[in-house]
Amino acid sequence: MDIILIQSPCWGLYAPPLGLASLTAFLRSKGLSVAAMDLNIDMFYRCKDTYKKFWEGAEMEFWHNETLVKRFFLDNYELIDAYLEQICSSDARIIGFSVYDTSLFLGLFLARKIKKNCPDKLIIFGGPHCSQYMCRDFIVSQECVDVVIEGEGEETLFQIADMVIRGNGLKFCPGALIKRGTEIIDGGERSLIDNLDSLPFPNFCDYPLGHYIRTNVIPASTSRGCVNRCIFCNEWTYWKRYRYKTGEYIFREIKHQLSSYPQIKYVEFYDSLCNGNLKELSILAEFIIKDKLKIRWVGQAIINSGMDIELLSKFRESGCWCLAYGLESGSQRVLDRMRKGFRISDAERVIRQTYATGIDVALNFMFGHPGETEDDFKETLDFISRNRKYINIVNPSPSFCGIAPGTYLYNHPEEFDIATPIDNNLFWKSKDNSNNYLARLDRFERFCDFVHSLDIKSTYPATTLVNRYRIIGDYYFYIRNYSEALKYYNASVEKEGENNKILQLIDNCRQLLKQGSRPNLKTKSLSINLINLI
């Protein structure tokens, strides 16, 4: 065994991780022996029942808190120890972790134990959270981590593995930060893979497909990156530029997966958008139709003015079941500020024609984008009213409009009258404080209530924010209004249930109010860490 690739909690439960399956296939195509372990799905079924709720979307902030994740680690140590024994007793020389914001802390806890018990194993972290603008520098500073891979991982991981297996020692490698003693060797950026058709099909043979919630779904992708440059998104900055697979290649991939897993009925495209190249998506549809392949497919999509009733009808005939459009707002002024690149009139036409062909329409929305006014928000509600019968489901963002590192908004706050520093992704405000967390929360909840009144399905499970009292308390704690924070924390205990974290926050508020002074920098840092909402 050369490499073990690990997906630690928390990640989705619906389907196996596409990224690790792609890395597995690539490394095996190069002759390496690879085992993949989805600890996320296994721990969900085998951990203590009190923790299972934290895999739900509304509860995932649990995994952003290092203290709470450590408690999970300790409370389930017998289970985790069995994983560690399996990993450490293997002859794998490299242990790789795929890291997202929700899997970082548990991944580090596992890595520390592996490094302590098996110091000779090389530990590599990669994935979206290893980006320079996310947690790359923090991760590489951890003693248990030997290498951090930034960006596209196939070629970089293979080059590192090749150095280790050949016994040449780790040295300069584009796309990686390598620790050698106290020195960190920064390999800089690696050239992107231009021809995605050159990659092998993702390999899911190590994943228990019957354990995932959607037992008949397999993930796939049509592209990497995005043709748009929305200022609130950091995904296009992660992938650098848009690249696509040909329709014929995607068809052959689907056929391959169906031959391996005949129970599969659905393909879900996990990339940023499936319709960035309409020509190739049309070719894919033609192959499926000609082959009479019995498959249904869904994907994220942009409002693309090139989509018409004829093309959408072809998609439907080929098995397209649902397209989730990144609309975000019903105000043209806000869309222009977002740099979405489409007209509301095109959005209405595409949505209505999509629905007319029998394809379900899902729409994504966000609230309180910098510069959005109450009139703009009302235009969003008006848009929904006009098009209610053409909308099957809406997806309101529970972060409203978070400003994430790596986005244009984050890097250019002065252009949008955003107060600086932006030291919390959720609790940012405009310079005049008219656009703050509470204002965005109000619009979010009004939106949820409005679509509920129209009997439109929503991906969000309630018409009010889940754990709203606790989170509003966090907001007031963040702005150092400890009396209001205490009020909402107490309400949280009464209405949302008691837990150790909320009791500690209540105690913190009481201590700070008793002091009657502003917290020092150390205390401020702790308070933000306790919130730690990403």
Beta strands in 329-377 (DSSP E): 360-365
- Alpha carbon distance 176, 94 (integer Å): 15
Angle between the 18-29 and 154-166 helix axes, to the nearest 10 degrees? 50
Last residue of a domain, one of 466, 483, 508: 466
What are the average pLDDT values for consecutive 10-residue runs of the chain, which has 534 residues?
95 93 97 97 96 88 90 95 96 96 95 96 95 91 96 96 89 94 92 97 94 93 96 90 97 97 95 96 98 96 97 98 98 97 97 98 98 98 98 96 94 96 94 97 98 97 93 96 96 88 92 74 34 29
Range of the domain at 526: 473-531
What does DSSP say about strands 296-301 and 266-269: parallel, antiparallel, or unpaired?
parallel
For 269, phi and psi rounded to 5 degrees?
A: -80, 120
Residues 505 and 439 in one domain: no
Looking at residue 169, its pLDDT comes to 83
Burial classification of residue 57, based on how many CB atoms lie within 10 Å of its CB (0-12 exposed, 13-18 middle, 19 or more buried): exposed
* Residue 335 domain-assigned (yes or no): yes
DSSP state, 192? Answer: P
User: Cβ distance 362 to 394 under 8 Å?
Assistant: yes
Buried residues in 446-485 as b, exposed as e (16+ CB within 10 A):
ebbebbeeeebebebeebebbbbbbbbbbbbbbeeebebb
* Residue 510 domain-assigned (yes or no): yes
Residue 295: partners with Cβ closer than 8 Å, 6 or more residues away? 254, 258, 264, 265, 266, 267, 288, 319
In the structure encoding, which two tokens stand for residue 392, read together? Answer: 């099957």
* Residue 202 domain-assigned (yes or no): no
Torsion of CA 285, 288, 294, 300, to 10 degrees: -30
**Tally of domains within the chain:** 3
Residues 17 and 150 in one domain: yes
- Alpha carbon distance 335, 344 (integer Å): 9
Residue of 52, 123, 51 lying closest to 84 (CA atoms): 123
- Alpha carbon distance 433, 418 (integer Å): 9
Looking at residue 525, its pLDDT comes to 33
In the structure encoding, which two tokens stand for residue 116, read together? Answer: 């302590």
Last residue of a domain, one of 167, 186, 205: 186
pTM: 0.90
* Residue 420 domain-assigned (yes or no): yes
Residues 425 and 286 in one domain: yes
* Residue 336 domain-assigned (yes or no): yes
How far apart, in Å, are the Cα atoms of 122 and each of 156, 178, 308, 351? 15, 11, 52, 50
Residues 109 and 135 in one domain: yes
Chain CA centroid to CA 176, Å: 22
User: Cβ distance 191 to 156 under 8 Å?
Assistant: no
User: Cβ distance 377 to 367 under 8 Å?
Assistant: yes
- Alpha carbon distance 506, 452 (integer Å): 34
Read out DSSP for 269-329?
E-SS-S-SSHHHHHHHHHHHHHHT---EEEEEE---TT--HHHHHHHHHTTEEEEEEEEE-
Looking at residue 238, its pLDDT comes to 87
Residues 174 and 292 in one domain: no
Beta bridge partners of 242: none
Residues 84 and 101 in one domain: yes
Read out DSSP for 193-244?
-S-GGGSPPP--TTS-GGGSSSTTEEEE-SEES-S---TT--HHHHH-S-EE
* Residue 506 domain-assigned (yes or no): yes
Residues 510 and 448 in one domain: no
Only one residue has tokens 């098995």, namely 319
Last residue of a domain, one of 417, 435, 466: 466
What does DSSP say about strands 122-126 and 147-149: parallel, antiparallel, or unpaired?
parallel
The shares of helix, strand and coil residues in the chain, as percent rounded to the nearest 5, are 50, 15, 40
Beta bridge partners of 452: none
Residues 308 and 363 in one domain: yes
Residues 283 and 374 in one domain: yes
Looking at residue 182, its pLDDT comes to 85
DSSP state, 76? Answer: T
* Residue 296 domain-assigned (yes or no): yes
Q: Provide the residue type at 146 as one letter.
A: D
CATH value at residue 121 = 3.40.50.280
Q: Quick one: CA dihedral 108, 109, 115, 118, positive or negative?
A: negative
Exposure on the CB side of residue 108, measured as CA atoms within 13 A: 23
What does DSSP say about strands 94-98 and 34-38: parallel, antiparallel, or unpaired?
unpaired
* Residue 400 backbone zone (phi > 0: left; psi -120 to 50: alpha; other: beta): left
- Alpha carbon distance 483, 477 (integer Å): 9
In the structure encoding, which two tokens stand for residue 414, read together? Answer: 């002065």
Only one residue has tokens 């994943």, namely 207
Give me the long-range contacts of 451-454 (CB less than 8 A, separation at least 24): 451/384, 451/394, 451/396, 454/384, 454/385, 454/388
- Alpha carbon distance 501, 507 (integer Å): 10
265: three-class secondary structure by DSSP: coil
Say how many C-beta atoms besides its own lie within 10 A of residue 86's C-beta.
12
Residues 459 and 479 in one domain: no
User: Cβ distance 62 to 54 under 8 Å?
Assistant: yes
* Residue 37 domain-assigned (yes or no): yes
User: Cβ distance 419 to 429 under 8 Å?
Assistant: yes
Residues 307 and 251 in one domain: yes
Residues 168 and 255 in one domain: no
